[in-house]
Structure 1
């Protein structure tokens, strides 16, 4: 090791395939972006001005292409020193441009100094630096030494202080919590999994107790949302697994309301895929965990319990849960009613009630809550509108209007965009189809929409 890092040693490095051209490297826009460590703008300029693909940049810098693309669009930053160093090396940017020590491949730049305990007496090094400062010899060698010392301190701080990272992930979880926003579920799932790939290294680092709880809180939110999307897509086993991960994280976070929300969401998997008694047990557990104070988690748990008991045929407990969720929903604050996956918005309240009342045969009340869900100021999502309409069709069938039920359901399911004709919507429409007698007019049309063999 002493020979390799001896005085005057140089490391020759071949030119990177993603090296920035000299003109672009010294472009005022690039220099300004580098000075503020805005590597996303550098990626965008390299792509637009020099024709470098995001894949080539990603490969050279050892960063995922999706992350490079996102940062080029202004979504995300880099605070990790090792990643900044990889970007310097991959794009052949002098370290000083990013406030780093000179990189080993820079012409005439000495290799980074060895660890002091291996090759240099700390006292002697201190005397040399002190003498250089007194003599005013602020040349390249001293500047590099000062920069190396500072970046070592930055790296040590980065290893123990994750406030910035945690703030970013809390904001990310909040952003995804607003739901699909017109995106197909499979697209949202892909984005969430990509986010987890970036979150994972943070989970491996040492944490303070406070940061560990905050990180567990974020993980529970993110994993819970993955479980929701998998549930909506019909992948109930995978959804159950992600729900278990979310529950484990929520428990470690110490947030009982979040834990109750995760359990209530998990209960929806067996509820919608043929195991209502198991769903009722999970929902009742979530209700107990949420406690007596009105909360979105408590309202959701009661709503899911009402549906699960109704499907299981326990009319008394289902009606009691319906009364409970109506009482809790009235007491929620406007903030608790926000239209997110973690709130309990009025529209989703009516969607849950619609399901419970439909299974209970309370068709008059079900029609009222379906109408309320569809006439609220905020238009329902594509999936929500389809589920409400299929509930209406089920009520029509119970009231003896079977032909109308078949027509309404086939139209609602048939008009869905292809990415939404799976999972929950297909399960609900298929369940209705199976209740209709074979001689029901329009039943064949529903079978065609569902692609059920005649």
Structure 2
């Protein structure tokens, strides 16, 4: 993140002086990309206020660049702040804005926006809208070109797609399909992808809880947290594990496995 911010600072003076139109467009596009990447890192760390400020900068730069797909990507990624930190209805609204901006073309941004909308609707207890958005995301994914499927910040590869499906299907209670996506996403995730692999494990634990095995759910989530370095037990991972703990009825909170999850979060 420090490198991104430093590079962004190098671009700012260039945007403050007259430039040929083509040059300014390229500068705005690059600034939008780097501000968006910085915002994503801040989101993952749990710095929501700072993330939103950087997303606003990214959206402004993307808008000036005229790159509609970049603008939609920024909005879809910003929607994930509300999605992951307790405002799913606001997230659904922002994701739908991103979907309107992308149009009907099968792009990485369009696929991401549909997948984020599906997650937001699922968490907002709007299952019909969630399933429609999931179907759209799957249809778009099938039509993506090789470049759009690239495993980059701005591509939408199969691994990313299944990470989104895992969360949406888990929230819908469709545990069978959710586990399929979790398994596929884990196959495609590098062993060093600690955050992604832990989030998928927590999704799997939530599926176990939904299917009636709360003890196993708590043990799996607590074990996943225990092996993480302290710096990873914050932000998004902590929020997702806390959501699992809070979904367990209070009368079970004295059970050993549930207490173990509580202690891991504490």
TM-score interval, smaller chain: over 0.9
Distance 1:380 1:361, change over 3 A: farther
User: Are 1:283 and 2:92 matched, yes or no?
Assistant: no
Match of 2:253 in 1: 438
For residues 323-356 of structure 1, the C-alpha deviation after alignment (integer angstroms, 9 at most, x for no partner) is: 1101111111222111111000111100000000
Rounded Cα–Cα distance in structure 2 between residues aligned with 1:416 and 1:379: 13
Rounded Cα–Cα distance in structure 1 between residues aligned with 2:23 and 2:187: 43
**Partner SS, residue 404 of structure 1:** helix
Rounded Cα–Cα distance in structure 2 between residues aligned with 1:308 and 1:352: 11
Distance 1:316 1:336, change over 3 A: same
Match of 1:302 in 2: 114
User: Are 1:292 and 2:134 matched, yes or no?
Assistant: no
Match of 1:411 in 2: 223
Rounded Cα–Cα distance in structure 1 between residues aligned with 2:211 and 2:192: 26
Displacement of 1:419: 1.9
Rounded Cα–Cα distance in structure 2 between residues aligned with 1:307 and 1:369: 14
User: Structure 1 residue runs of 4+, over 4 Å off?
Assistant: 377-380
Match of 1:4 in 2: none
Displacement of 1:368: 0.6
User: Are 1:366 and 2:156 matched, yes or no?
Assistant: no
Rounded Cα–Cα distance in structure 2 between residues aligned with 1:377 and 1:332: 20
User: Are 1:341 and 2:153 matched, yes or no?
Assistant: yes
Distance 1:292 1:440, change over 3 A: farther
Displacement of 1:380: 6.4
After TM superposition, the structure 1 = structure 2 runs for residues 64-103 of structure 1, keeping only pairs within 5 Å, are none
Rounded Cα–Cα distance in structure 2 between residues aligned with 1:200 and 1:259: 19
Distance 1:322 1:409, change over 3 A: same
For residues 360-417 of structure 1, the C-alpha deviation after alignment (integer angstroms, 9 at most, x for no partner) is: 0000000110001111275461100000000000000000010100000001112111
Match of 2:265 in 1: 450
Note if contact 2:189-2:197 (Cα within 8 Å) is conserved in structure 1: no
Match of 2:27 in 1: 215
Rounded Cα–Cα distance in structure 2 between residues aligned with 1:284 and 1:376: 28
Note if contact 1:213-1:254 (Cα within 8 Å) is conserved in structure 2: yes
Note if contact 1:217-1:253 (Cα within 8 Å) is conserved in structure 2: yes
Rounded Cα–Cα distance in structure 1 between residues aligned with 2:60 and 2:209: 42
For residues 312-331 of structure 1, the C-alpha deviation after alignment (integer angstroms, 9 at most, x for no partner) is: 01110000001110111111
Match of 1:83 in 2: none
Rounded Cα–Cα distance in structure 2 between residues aligned with 1:422 and 1:203: 35
**Partner SS, residue 243 of structure 2:** helix
**Partner SS, residue 256 of structure 2:** coil
Note if contact 1:406-1:441 (Cα within 8 Å) is conserved in structure 2: no
Q: Where do 5+ consecutive residues of structure 1 fail to align?
A: 1-188
Larger Rg: 1
Match of 1:375 in 2: 187
Q: TM-score, normalised by structure 2?
A: 0.96
Match of 2:135 among 323, 326, 332: 323
Q: Give the structure, 1 or 2, with the largest relative contact order (CA under 8 Å, sep 6 or more).
A: 2
Note if contact 2:79-2:92 (Cα within 8 Å) is conserved in structure 1: yes
Q: Where do 5+ consecutive residues of structure 2 fail to align?
A: none
Structure 1 vs Structure 2 CA RMSD: 1.2
Match of 2:42 among 213, 230, 234: 230
Structure (1/2) with the larger helix percentage: 2
**Partner SS, residue 442 of structure 1:** helix
Count of equivalent residues = 263
